[in-house]
Amino acid sequence: MIKIHLRELMWEKNISAVQIQKETGIHATTVSRIINGKQQNLGLETLDKLCTVLDCKIQDLITYERVNK
């Protein structure tokens, strides 16, 4: 399972959803869906914009966790 850690990074960096939306140009609804874990398909351009605004590496933003069946 791929996990997106946008909410945690925003908290650590003291950045609001509105700031993310304004600085990246990503639609507010999309930002909200990413924060709430409802947006799983993120393009490379979106990931790049988020990493740029958050001043982080991609591995800080997304992680992979194996799901045992």
Q: Which CATH number goes with the domain that contains 40? A: 1.10.260.40
Q: What is the CA radius of gyration of the chain?
A: 12
Is 40 a member of any domain?
Answer: yes
Neighbours of 19 (CB within 10 A): 14
Please give the tally of structural domains in the chain: 1
Largest CA distance in the chain: 41
pLDDT of residue 40: 74
Determine, yes or no, domain membership for 69: no
pLDDT at 1: 86
Task: Establish if 14 belongs to a structural domain.
Answer: yes
Q: Which domain covers residue 21, as residue numbers? A: 2-64
pLDDT at 41: 87
Helical residues (DSSP H) of 1-69, grouped into ranges: 6-13, 17-24, 28-35, 44-54, 58-61
With respect to residue 43, please indicate whether it lies within any of the assigned structural domains.
yes
Confidence at residue 25, expressed as pLDDT on a 0 to 100 scale:
96
Is residue 41 in some structural domain? yes
Mean pLDDT for each consecutive 10-residue tract of the chain (69 residues)?
A: 94 97 96 91 94 96 89
